[in-house]
Structure 1
């Protein structure tokens, strides 16, 4: 049973009198009280003012459960004895109100969910042996009752007289939660299907394919809840350094987001995480904004595969091959979207041809015009759509940030746990990532990290260098070694040599690239194989085109069927690699260059340069430069692309290399974030050009630092050091945020130690940075962003210097140890906490401001001195 369907009756005005009976009536003149009222003093079923009996309390519980049952189809599935048990458990929890050691203000600060958890602890054994539906019934009714109880507290004159100003933010939040609960309650007529759909989404998208873990007896997929790694997303600002938020929270406080990310950065995984989280209803504090939303995953490559028009809402499920689409009640999606309960996840704008993207924008615009209240996440590669492509539709634009060192370490450990690989491989790879900078540059997104992990184990620690070599090794591992080492070459089994499989896969990949697709019909795959096999008799003798296709699908590990009748590569990066190889073998250099201005071809051309022979590289790069001279509209893009290709040109005519570098030098310094990112993709060669820059404007210096940071090797530190004395706050914030990307001690000595102690927060990610910061004497503004316990910072020699503390890491925050920061003036809490008791700070005389994000419930605020202000953390921070 979906817990959110228990709302239509419980959220109505009719239930208010039931809740009101649990408390004594106010006497005349009650509004003059100057302190909050203890909850136990206003309970109506105990004490001197007792007006309710134990039987009355049970009657209220029975009525609340009855209203819940009548608002859903639960009575068709729940036996009477389980309904009675739910009533008993609810009555016991309501009686626990008389034992609460808190006042009404603290209860409101606590929040209705946390209050419900406290009441449940009074009788945890009440639900033992009950079915999941019965437990859900009890818990949801208790949640709703607690929400109304807190709302009742806020209406009492004693509460209002004491806390009207102090609690204004909490009142607004509580009111919003009530409204949200009502708004997100599905109609009973749709409840059964909605639960069925939620179960389907949870199962269908609840597993994550982790590259390489299927090379042993380990399953090829891993539960999303165990494998998901929270990454950061950044939003650019014209007058400030980029702001970072956890990627799964980009829609918290925002209705619409365009999220950009390079291939393999985790865009689709994030889409899965948001969909499964909203469908599952078991949300942690940071994802409460998803409560009651209905997710619709709409991959653009699937919606446009057959040249069909983009779907109307009623066709969303059918268009993605959802097997229960036929059972969808008439008018259900229209009702969901009208009520603003939709979570629309449009994945992969970059995976449709460029000439179709404006049509997709119009489609999104029309849907928003018809259904303006829903939440939207649209994903794309960075260069696929222009800046501000959806700004007129009130979309905020974020970009997935590269993985930090802690992220890479966490991913490697999770991968080895999932794959059941030995700890020796894990330790060796962790050392290699730190000591081999070229390898560290590659391991900046989940796909490349997984690829490196798989190859490290498969090749017993001997890793190839360079992106092309990694893919070559991966193909060898997938297409040849896996079957051989699994003993799959038994008589009677179809076997195709790895080189032939590569040839066939190249043809499929190149067809998709030429047609601007990331997915193709199964029938087209069979047709392509039918045409190719006569020229490959050694393969044709193995079986029919259908049998050959099944072998590629099952054994190669590179193809999959995302929906009935559809075929794609497990990741677009493999498609680009194989398609580029096919283009070079076909000598289609003019075709490559003629499409070089299209974002879908950028990675293809880079890989083509890697595959090509030296004279062919000369031809490609020279043609790119010539076209850049003849095409003013695309000149910058083509020259930057040529520069980015140099990283893959292991052997190249020196004159051609110099010509490409001179051409790129005209675009240095970078003057936008896009130019900074593309230049960084060219690799460390750009650092030589950046180091020669003099007399830059503030913006040029800022984007130059952005480019050097993104390159990410320690060779960038001398370039960054040139800008450490500039006073531009944006630039200083960019520098301190980059600390985690470099050797902590060297960066501290050459960058952090030279920055003025200003209002720029210095982040501390790990123990190495904490020790380095302590060696430098500390800073007044410190931001905890990693795994360093607050207790370690409090015990360090720099605690007394800290005046501004920003906590944005999930460190199990307790305010007790904050008392060690004797000069703390401003405390910023950048993550959502269901309950945070700040009463321990009452003796901290220096404290003047506590800032927190929306959703943090502060207890003990009334114990703080009157001069301490509680402020909302601005979203831009």
Structure 2
């Protein structure tokens, strides 16, 4: 027979009734300070609930517990009813012997479940003599399963025990997970999964997913008519973004660059993906698109593996305080409108049938000290319910690429929008504006054209427009200001607050929506209080009661507000009229985007002068944006306090490095700073910019242009280090980066040349081509093209023999843009979704390299050799 399994969600509280003093299944920190009573641990006989001066469990209840164990065990239904009752009677006896033996918890854990069960059974010899052969075999296996959960509970209740026997403790926990997985499979075989109730609910659930996620709201949108929609259908406005898989191998000159591919196809060849991207880069929109497309069963061919799956969208901010939910709590944790109507166990049955698509959005939304627990619970869930697809999203600093690597997760990083994508976004944004009832439709084309011309000309705008959030904000402000745009990040958010908190309602002629009359300053002050409270509590959600209390606490100090109404009235006003808050189904409130919260919290922190709080958390990735914006808001002396605090001695290791690099990154936001402090920061960080790995080199990009002043002389480094320096410099959107990279262009290393070629889409195309690409040794080098401007520039480079298609093109565009007489080798790194018959127009083409993650190509001319790259 198969080993008997006990699902831990039921077994743990049941085992807890066998022991005194602690709540079942709860790990208590106080136990960490409680040493074992002897050199070899604590006597289990002194821990059980059915002995001692005040026993809470008698033999009669022990018998009941044994009966529940029998009912829970897998395979019990194969036994006759009389045999099940007999097994329960016998099982109660070895359990009772725990109170008689002199075995300690340390000894029991060392034994393991098999040997500990054997010891308990030997304490009551002959107890099973009246059992049938099948019942006796079942009893022995069930006792082992019970002992496994007993040992697991002892470990959970005593961290000292886990520290003393780490390998045994890990193995026991692993056995519990394996047992849960086996129990799930057993239940899947036993039950009829497609019940009418499940089918009916599933249909309703998928309809709700479509209703919830078929919309996209671009932060900062400001349309002049009060009837203007706040969002548009996602399927009409969705923009497919690019992404890079992992990092390049470091095992020699044969290393290839990681091509950019459509991010929304990322799960086509991967069951588990860790998607990383900066704030506003489109992570949540991609989550929505996957949920929507799966729920509608309208998936592209590349995502055929997701067909028939049930999407579960799990925004981490919804359950950050409570921890990662178990399957039965998935819907209630995210406040799904059908949570109360789901058939009992529906989510678990769906996952057990390996039909789930878990979309865990925003790991960075939980405090750093809680992320390990979230990871552990997610890891355990995926081990128990293997076969379900999963994508986890996060900002890059929050977790590293290896965070879930041991669970088979492949890292995918959202790439900045290309010029073609920026142009497509701007065009779609202005087209969507034509659906409102505004009075400036005749000028929308002018706004669009002016913006399309401005972004390539101004470095600040070009750098900011490379993610959907900031690009949408730029579009809104461009329309709002009739083409006059601020250039810097802080200036953009200042302008957005002015637009939303001061001008939006009057210019839309929404003057009497409520009785509250507030200007921008008092509105912003109240919003800042809420944002700062969330910052201090390290949560992105605030329950209604706490929000009302925070507003009420500050009302007496803001005269312009205190006379306007009650905290409830003002809270409703902020929620409905500012456009930067949104309320959840349970009444809790959050900001429309984390960057808005960071901006307002930083401004409040500077006004309160709580620099010690900021510096205390400076090493934590989720505080990075707050500190950078605080430096931008601070006056010169305050700015010096913050920056000097970042580089002050005291921190070590990773914390020290993070603080110093953050100080360097903050310099781009400084308007005035003592030259001595500026020089000290550069001196303190100069030796930190010699990355020892590709991952570290890529990570330096977030520091910004200041890094370029600290990088070593490229003439004095090896090819290996030169490659890593190029990885850093190609990710810094600044003209000075091109000057630095030009000093690497004469090297012969193929890997280095490939990185230099890959980087040209981050800079002005023609200038980069003249300064870098034209000078690279063409031997074996594929030049990547990601947009039409790059394609047009290839001809001026003389038509390279090796080209990598790393963007979306039509065959006609490639036929016009590629040199038909010179092209010999083509690398397809982007799914063009067409046959390859058009390649016959290139008479010298001998090789077609295809990235393995793309679908199988068809129609390739016979003379062309196909390679997998």
TM range (shorter): 0.7 to 0.9
CA contact (8 A) 1:345 1:378 kept: yes
DSSP 3-state at the match of 2:275:
strand
Residues 825 and 257 from structure 1, CA distance in 2 versus in 1: closer, same or farther, beyond 3 angstroms? same
Distance 2:852 2:472 in 1: 29
CA contact (8 A) 1:644 1:678 kept: no
Which residue does the alignment assign to 1:378?
A: 392
CA contact (8 A) 1:764 1:788 kept: no
Which residue does the alignment assign to 1:462?
A: 484
Which residue does the alignment assign to 2:586?
A: 564
| 1:826-837 alignment runs, 5 A limit | 826-829=847-850
Give how far 1:599 is off: 0.9
Which residue does the alignment assign to 1:238?
A: 249
Given the alignment, which residue of 816, 825, 847 partners 2:864?
847
Given the alignment, which residue of 511, 525, 547 partners 2:569?
547
Given the alignment, which residue of 496, 503, 508 partners 1:474?
496
Which residue does the alignment assign to 2:691?
A: 670
Are 1:248 and 2:269 matched, yes or no?
A: no
CA contact (8 A) 1:809 1:831 kept: no
Distance 2:815 2:463 in 1: 34
Give how far 1:699 is off: 3.9
| 1:708-857 alignment runs, 5 A limit | 708-786=729-807, 788-795=809-816, 798-809=819-830, 811=832, 813-829=834-850, 838=859, 841-842=861-862, 846-849=863-866, 851=867
Residues 259 and 440 from structure 1, CA distance in 2 versus in 1: closer, same or farther, beyond 3 angstroms? same
Are 1:635 and 2:667 matched, yes or no?
A: no
Which residue does the alignment assign to 1:349?
A: 363
Which residue does the alignment assign to 1:448?
A: 470
CA contact (8 A) 1:671 1:699 kept: no
Give how far 1:740 is off: 2.1
The root-mean-square deviation of aligned C-alpha atoms, in Å, is 2.4
CA contact (8 A) 2:714 2:722 kept: no
**What TM-score do the two structures reach when normalised by structure 1?**
0.72
Which residue does the alignment assign to 2:515?
A: 493
Are 1:324 and 2:334 matched, yes or no?
A: no
Given the alignment, which residue of 207, 222, 231 partners 1:221?
231
CA contact (8 A) 2:599 2:629 kept: yes
Which residue does the alignment assign to 2:458?
A: 436
What do the CA deviations read for 1:88-128 (whole angstroms, capped 9, x no partner)? xxxxxxxxxxxxxxxxxxxxxxxxxxxxxxxxxxxxxxxxx
Deviates more, 1:750-759 or 1:295-304: 750-759
Distance 2:295 2:687 in 1: 51
Distance 1:502 1:192 in 2: 47
Deviates more, 1:678-687 or 1:706-715: 678-687
CA contact (8 A) 2:544 2:588 kept: yes
CA contact (8 A) 2:829 2:854 kept: no
Distance 1:836 1:638 in 2: 48
CA contact (8 A) 1:478 1:557 kept: yes
- Can you give the 5+ residue segments of structure 1 that lack an aligned partner in the other structure? 1-183, 852-872
Given the alignment, which residue of 175, 190, 197 partners 2:198?
190
Given the alignment, which residue of 413, 426, 442 partners 1:412?
426
DSSP 3-state at the match of 1:251:
helix
Residues 727 and 666 from structure 1, CA distance in 2 versus in 1: closer, same or farther, beyond 3 angstroms? same
Are 1:395 and 2:406 matched, yes or no?
A: no
DSSP 3-state at the match of 2:710:
helix
Give how far 1:334 is off: 1.8
CA contact (8 A) 2:786 2:805 kept: yes
CA contact (8 A) 1:441 1:711 kept: no
Are 1:599 and 2:621 matched, yes or no?
A: yes
Distance 1:491 1:460 in 2: 27
Given the alignment, which residue of 220, 229, 232 partners 1:212?
220
Residues 531 and 654 from structure 1, CA distance in 2 versus in 1: closer, same or farther, beyond 3 angstroms? same
DSSP 3-state at the match of 1:343:
strand
Which residue does the alignment assign to 1:649?
A: 670
DSSP 3-state at the match of 1:209:
coil
Give how far 1:382 is off: 1.0
Given the alignment, which residue of 634, 641, 644 partners 1:612?
634
Are 1:575 and 2:585 matched, yes or no?
A: no
Residues 673 and 649 from structure 1, CA distance in 2 versus in 1: closer, same or farther, beyond 3 angstroms? farther
- Can you give the 5+ residue segments of structure 2 that lack an aligned partner in the other structure? 1-191, 435-440
DSSP 3-state at the match of 1:250:
helix
Give how far 1:673 is off: 4.7
Residues 212 and 603 from structure 1, CA distance in 2 versus in 1: closer, same or farther, beyond 3 angstroms? closer
Give how far 1:830 is off: 5.2
What do the CA deviations read for 1:273-296 (whole angstroms, capped 9, x no partner)? 111111010122233222111011
Distance 1:274 1:430 in 2: 29
CA contact (8 A) 1:341 1:374 kept: yes
Deviates more, 1:407-416 or 1:808-817: 808-817
Give how far 1:337 is off: 0.8
What do the CA deviations read for 1:674-712 (whole angstroms, capped 9, x no partner)? 544554334333323337444223443223212222112
Q: Number of paired residues?
A: 663
Distance 1:274 1:344 in 2: 10
Which residue does the alignment assign to 2:274?
A: 258
CA contact (8 A) 1:647 1:682 kept: no
Residues 577 and 834 from structure 1, CA distance in 2 versus in 1: closer, same or farther, beyond 3 angstroms? closer
What do the CA deviations read for 1:815-841 (whole angstroms, capped 9, x no partner)? 3431111122222455999997527x2
Give how far 1:496 is off: 1.3
Are 1:523 and 2:540 matched, yes or no?
A: no
**What TM-score do the two structures reach when normalised by structure 2?**
0.73
Which residue does the alignment assign to 1:284?
A: 300
Give how far 1:362 is off: 1.2
Are 1:274 and 2:285 matched, yes or no?
A: no
CA contact (8 A) 1:680 1:711 kept: yes
DSSP 3-state at the match of 2:260:
strand
What do the CA deviations read for 1:370-402 (whole angstroms, capped 9, x no partner)? 101111111111111234111122211222112
Residues 214 and 832 from structure 1, CA distance in 2 versus in 1: closer, same or farther, beyond 3 angstroms? farther
Are 1:203 and 2:225 matched, yes or no?
A: no
Give how far 1:202 is off: 0.5
Residues 586 and 699 from structure 1, CA distance in 2 versus in 1: closer, same or farther, beyond 3 angstroms? farther
What do the CA deviations read for 1:126-158 (whole angstroms, capped 9, x no partner)? xxxxxxxxxxxxxxxxxxxxxxxxxxxxxxxxx
DSSP 3-state at the match of 1:430:
helix
Distance 2:399 2:652 in 1: 19
Distance 1:185 1:803 in 2: 55
Give how far 1:721 is off: 1.5
Are 1:366 and 2:380 matched, yes or no?
A: yes
Residues 642 and 773 from structure 1, CA distance in 2 versus in 1: closer, same or farther, beyond 3 angstroms? same
Distance 1:728 1:491 in 2: 66
Give how far 1:785 is off: 3.1
Distance 2:231 2:359 in 1: 22
